[in-house]
Amino acid sequence: MKNTLPETGGFFARDRAMHPPALTPGYKTSVLRSPQRALISLEGTKSEITGPVFGHNMINEFDNDLIVNYAKPGEMAIGQRILVHGRVLDERGLGVAGALVEFWQANAGGRYRHKKETYLAPLDPNFGGFGRCVTDENGYYWFKTIKPGPYPWPNGVNDWRPAHIHFSVFGHGFAQRLITQMYFEGDPLIWICPIVKTIPDEEAIKRLVAPLDMNNTIPMDMRAYKFDIVLRGRRSTFFENRKEGN
Amino acid sequence: MVQPLNYLKESPSQTAGPYVHIGCTPNFTGIHGVYETDLGSGPLHNDKTRGERITIRGRVIDGSGTPLRDALIEIWQADSDGFYNSPSETRGTADPHFAGWGRCPADMTTGEFVFETIKPGRVPFNDGSLMAPHVTLWIVARGINIGLHTRMYFSDEEAANAQDPILNRIEHRVRVPTLIGKREGDTVTFDIHLQGENETVFFDI
């Protein structure tokens, strides 16, 4: 980690204007699942500025290689080979070291490996569709996968999800906990997706669209997409200005 | 002109979707052989953990009264002495046999979530006064656009709850019971209502 002292400052207030509101009728499932009362504002206490730690030793060798982590020995998942890489940063621009990043996605045909999934596209016997990694000291992460396919879903009569990868990210405090989705540059489905459109701010949507990164594309092997994830920043504790308990 | 602040903006949230289990609890959805166990599954304690054993049971219930069968619930809590197992815990060292974090998918039939854990100790608020024992919860699911933060306090802590600075901040006193888990024996029951008359208090923290 960059700072040798543990960070104990509170987190920057969340800018709710660029997050989706709870109730978004265009995404029908939100209608009965959206709290209707105002959230109670709470300055971060010890219970939210602290958070669990996950060590690098919990990660297995192929946890960040979705092309092979579910495949039979010697086989590989079918689809467009890609490298997804980037940094987990906080709003100060600092890399978040030791952050657990989990990801999951549909296969190349747009089918998820899940008990409740019924789309007619076939499963790929060599593709599980998930992985994880822990960021290095600079907040960097990467994984190999195949590009997921778009797929239809029951919302409107003809709604399709753009190709996307789900991300679950832990920072250093439980208040930073975030689940989001990564989209791919140039996908026309992004701008007509009811789930994307829950985000009220076009600039915020663009922050979820990963560009093609030719510099990190591996010749004759796989294209790269770069996706940075930004978690809430926290105040620096320059000096103690109030009594801490205990 | 002034210098630019140059802060980045937090990445916007998107729903965890119906298949959150694939990424977070693959064994639960029948995908074996990649992760040995699902992260955060099983008891939070081992046989060396200090503190009183409790079981937290509950459901996440939508505006029609139907339990969500695709929610994912995470908890984060202090050890029995009120210390968090985190680098940002600067007051002391937490019980090395208690990480304090757990993750449970709602049962695909009943919607119930279960955590076997210990009762947390009291943690000081920012002004030094003590908060009542509580467990922090974070809830995601299909149809929830941004993870919901709430807390569970304990029904057998009436005196501490009466002094708790967070509970005391809630203007509409009728809503306070939505944050109190009902303790019977070693089991604490905590249903989370997303909407309706008993809508749970959720926090912007």
The torsion angles phi and psi of B174, rounded to 5 degrees, stand at -65, -20
List chain B domain ranges: 20-193
Spatial distance between the Cα atoms of B131 and B165, rounded to a whole number of angstroms: 6
Q: Is A151 a catalytic residue?
A: yes
* Residue A23 belongs to some domain of the structure: yes
Look at residue B149 and give its three-state secondary structure: strand
pLDDT of residue A236: 83
Inspect the interface and report whether the beta carbons of A91 and B33 lie closer than 8 Å.
Answer: no
pLDDT digits (tens, 9 = 90+) for A30-65: 999 999 999 999 989 999 999 999 988 899 999 999
Contacts of A166 in chain B (CB under 8 A): 14, 16-17, 19-20, 23
* Residue A9 belongs to some domain of the structure: no
Contacts of A143 (CB under 8 A, 6+ apart): A64, A65, A66, A83, A84, A85, A103, A131, A133
Over pLDDT 90: what percentage of chain A? 87
* pLDDT value at A239 more than 60: no
Inspect the interface and report whether the beta carbons of A39 and B20 lie closer than 8 Å.
Answer: no
CATH number of the structural domain spanning residue A227:
2.60.130.10
pLDDT of residue A4: 53
Q: Is A112 a catalytic residue?
A: yes
What is the distance between the terminal CA atoms of chain A, rounded to a whole angstrom? 27
Cα–Cα distance list, A220 to A82, A146, A239, B96 (Å): 12, 15, 54, 48
Contacts of B74 in chain A (CB under 8 A): 177
Give the pLDDT band (50/70/90) at residue B61.
very high
Spatial distance between the Cα atoms of B186 and B117, rounded to a whole number of angstroms: 10
What is B20-193's CATH number, 3.30.300.100, 2.40.50.180, 2.60.130.10, 1.10.10.10?
2.60.130.10
Q: Is A166 a catalytic residue?
A: yes
Give the pLDDT band (50/70/90) at residue A115.
confident
Q: Give yes or no for a contact between A166 and A131, defined as CB atoms under 8 angstroms apart.
A: no
* Residue A165 belongs to some domain of the structure: yes
| Amino acid, single-letter form, for residue A50 | T
Stated pTM of the model: 0.96
pLDDT of residue A243: 47
Inspect the interface and report whether the beta carbons of A115 and B90 lie closer than 8 Å.
Answer: no
Instruction: Give the count of domains, chain A.
Output: 1
* pLDDT value at B72 more than 50: yes
* Residue A111 belongs to some domain of the structure: yes
Contacts of A58 in chain B (CB under 8 A): 39
* Residue A73 belongs to some domain of the structure: yes
Q: Is A164 a catalytic residue?
A: yes
Strand runs labelled E in B62-159: 72-77, 101-105, 112-118, 134-140, 148-154
* Residue A236 belongs to some domain of the structure: no
